[in-house]
Structure 1
């Protein structure tokens, strides 16, 4: 077992249980974590839902995540109660039990013997043109830019199939990385999107379900909870989860071009006749917390770029002993994130507190869209600028913000920020 630092992504927990990258346990050691599982600020509109955990070991996150060191962490409460037969009038009665299905999308490379590739340094033999001596070059699919697999996997199974009854299912989609971006849809013919309902994004239930009739972008660490109603199909129908987004071979992000959408990730086989289905798609779920700009103590700007072969934030590399921002407990701030690179997409994640996006490239976020809900990952494409509002509450201590293309994270695209006592911020 390698050294590790476990982070519960989307969790609201004290610093010592957050998985700070430089606080790791070596082989033979252990690290106790305490997850209080209460909503931030004790606000019922800040409840958590679809979380996940993964390794966060400084410089080795990508390696450990690629090896499968990740999984779902699902939170329930009186409203999202994991009981579609719940008699509580406030319960959402979402599909539950075997009809609530977590699905991790994960890139894996295989060699010519159909075995998982682990040694990326020694995986590409080459001969020096000057000396004639043999050696190894870097794998073109695992570079400083990112890591791209040659097979799609779901829950570590190559392009699986899954039998579904003719009723509603809650499918929890997670892009577990390490680096691939997706544009996904559920299709019957492999091309035309079927109508589905998005109820949660980045682990947070939306104010209202979003009727999705098109492809939707899923970047590393993004989560979508989607209700698919298979009752409208007949026995023997096959529905596909498809990807149409072309990815650069070096893992830097999307090319901007769309593939033939018959790029199938998973198949759902509809079986049997109609069945009883007590689950619902609720009209209303969790209200968006109100933004009060009078709470704002400070505004900050973070610029993401590529400098001298490494990824930087505000021109600096990650130093776990340097505090890049000291945020006063109990205050709110506005952060502006800007991608100055012209080739890389960056899914930016900040720990501990979620945020609400105010503007994307100078335009206000449209109510009722995916970006209207609470978020913990910003999709920052080349040249993009995103402004968000956040509150920092409940605990003191050290946390981080980083790119969730975990190869970029390991190549220093991360900062440390601390929550400090009032009057001591900078």
Structure 2
């Protein structure tokens, strides 16, 4: 070994062991690049061939995209309008953390409005949003894919507002795609507060499109200052940090590495941890309470979050509380778990932390590892590092305090109105007896990822008789060796029971979810009321490599009386309810021509008259009834009706 190589190795061992918190997951010389700009691998996954330097960039929240206009009804319910251009460009997010990248050209990305991650849309709960997405991808990623390879052309996109109870044509069906110089308009209900997000969902290229940059937050907020009806627990003025977690890997030209031959259709893992598009950021904070909104927008990697002090002791379990999950607020906050907060791909959690006693100290947002929960996940040199939290000596003001005992306002939780404890108890009794309504087996065979032995291409509809507004208990199962973050579109659900991996975890229990973490050899029972809309919706593994290789299928919601658990629709469906639980068959088809993408030049002018027309159509009447005759229903209350305050 030459003296130069030996010197580089010694320097890098020093860096991994002293300048930054050491990795407990392997010897530094085994998991770090050698500095010779040559490719290296960890567990056969390729790493960036350059030396990385964490904590050189300063964290900032993703950019907020303000609505261009607001259109309102006399009752104060409004629609906010946005326009987003999707185009390819070069950016330089890695220059500080990867010094070699300063010698290279900019990194190519697919972007929403030229940003990675995309701009954050922030809409008050109880108010709709209308978003026009214009496909302008042209120069850097010229390859065409079906259906954009004939009279239409370019790289297709499809946008899924993840966490939204959208009607099928606005849900981001994988085959409802937008080609180059086309526009697709989406209308979203925003019917309950939650940390939602939007990302690409184009058929068979979702992983590449999302990995190259197509993801962003869509926050539905109940804050008074943004037009909501008020936050619980004194959260109104507690400062928020919006953390989008991703991992990337660069090639020798500082371009995002994607296996061009698709030789590995298992997973994609990177050695550079991005927090809202920033590699391993420093996060200047004050000694006060903070609210963290966490989104896992990686392709494959789960994160096991903890907060360590400078002695690498876990302080999160003492000073942090989890307040929300995918579908919004918990009924009550719970302590941060001793085992860490496991966040699978596409899962979202919110937690608050009290840093008032950590003035002038350094903390670390840490990615821990649990081999039972995270089989086969590689840990590179700095995979354990997410962010360095630098707590200032003093605060600049008199900051608000988190108070979980504040009685008002009551958080808006749709799931507690449509699924009561009697439903939950009945489902739990079924699960304890090994009974369920449907079984979904996630497996791999012949390089295909399948659900019940079928794929999207072989047989799309896995459940064709789900009754509108009925509840069902679904049973998810996978074999040994693989874990799957499973996303069910449209609904929020409860995880009832897990067999394996220690059962339901504290942060999953009684939490509104739309992604379940199906660990290796796990069996999970899930309860959902399949409403309020009719039509076809996807469900799939959210490891995007698995999804693209074809672990995705769909279910169909039909009239309640034809569903397999028809009786559970009462009292949601009665003859007198026709005006509320409405027959929306016009919008049941996700490929509806009326709402399909069209050439941008043919789109109606996005003016006030057009937006008023879209608001008046009231396609989400189930959430936003127009008058008092829509609200009382033969003595019952419409459980889907959203609460709104004048925005």
TM-score range (shorter-chain normalised) is: 0.7 to 0.9
CA distance in 1, matches of 2:314, 2:503: 24
Instruction: Report the Cα offset of residue 258 of structure 1.
Output: 9.1
1:10-409 equivalent positions in 2, closer than 5 A: 10-38=163-191, 47-77=192-222, 80-81=223-224, 91-94=232-235, 96=237, 99-113=239-253, 115-121=254-260, 143-189=264-310, 191-194=312-315, 195=318, 196-212=320-336, 214=338, 215-235=340-360, 237-245=361-369, 253-255=374-376, 263-274=384-395, 275-283=397-405, 286=411, 289=416, 290-293=420-423, 299-319=437-457, 322-326=460-464, 327-339=466-478, 341-361=479-499, 369-409=507-547
Which whole-Å deviations, capped at 9, do the CAs of 1:310-332 have from their partners, x for residues lacking one? 10000001139732212111211
CA distance in 2, matches of 1:261, 1:291: 44
Give unpaired runs (5+ residues) of structure 1: 39-46, 122-136
SS of the residue aligned with 2:394?
Answer: strand
Cα 1:59–1:168 change in 2 (3 A) is same
Instruction: Report the Cα offset of residue 423 of structure 1.
Output: 3.6
Q: Please state which structure has a larger fraction of its residues in helix.
A: 2
Cα 1:307–1:283 change in 2 (3 A) is farther
CA distance in 1, matches of 2:383, 2:247: 18
Instruction: Report the Cα offset of residue 91 of structure 1.
Output: 4.4
- Provide the aligned C-alpha RMSD in A: 3.1
Which whole-Å deviations, capped at 9, do the CAs of 1:210-269 have from their partners, x for residues lacking one? 11153121111111111111211112x111111122789xxx953489999992210111
Instruction: Report the Cα offset of residue 292 of structure 1.
Output: 3.7
Instruction: Report the Cα offset of residue 366 of structure 1.
Output: 6.7
CA distance in 1, matches of 2:327, 2:484: 19
Say whether the 8 Å CA contact 2:327–2:492 is kept in structure 1: no
Cα 1:246–1:157 change in 2 (3 A) is farther
Instruction: Report the Cα offset of residue 209 of structure 1.
Output: 1.1
Say whether the 8 Å CA contact 1:208–1:283 is kept in structure 2: no
Say whether the 8 Å CA contact 2:322–2:349 is kept in structure 1: yes
Say whether the 8 Å CA contact 1:81–1:91 is kept in structure 2: no
SS of the residue aligned with 1:153?
Answer: strand
Q: Please state which structure has a larger fraction of its residues in strand.
A: 1
Cα 1:48–1:190 change in 2 (3 A) is farther
Give unpaired runs (5+ residues) of structure 2: 1-136, 138-154, 428-435, 565-647
CA distance in 2, matches of 1:138, 1:7: 24
CA distance in 2, matches of 1:320, 1:156: 37
Cα 1:332–1:302 change in 2 (3 A) is same
Say whether the 8 Å CA contact 2:498–2:504 is kept in structure 1: no
SS of the residue aligned with 1:146?
Answer: coil
SS of the residue aligned with 1:184?
Answer: strand
Cα 1:159–1:82 change in 2 (3 A) is farther
Say whether the 8 Å CA contact 1:348–1:404 is kept in structure 2: yes
CA distance in 2, matches of 1:90, 1:173: 18
Say whether the 8 Å CA contact 1:169–1:228 is kept in structure 2: yes
Which structure's CA Rg is the greater one?
Answer: 2
Mean alpha-carbon deviation: is it higher for 375-384 or for 213-222? 213-222
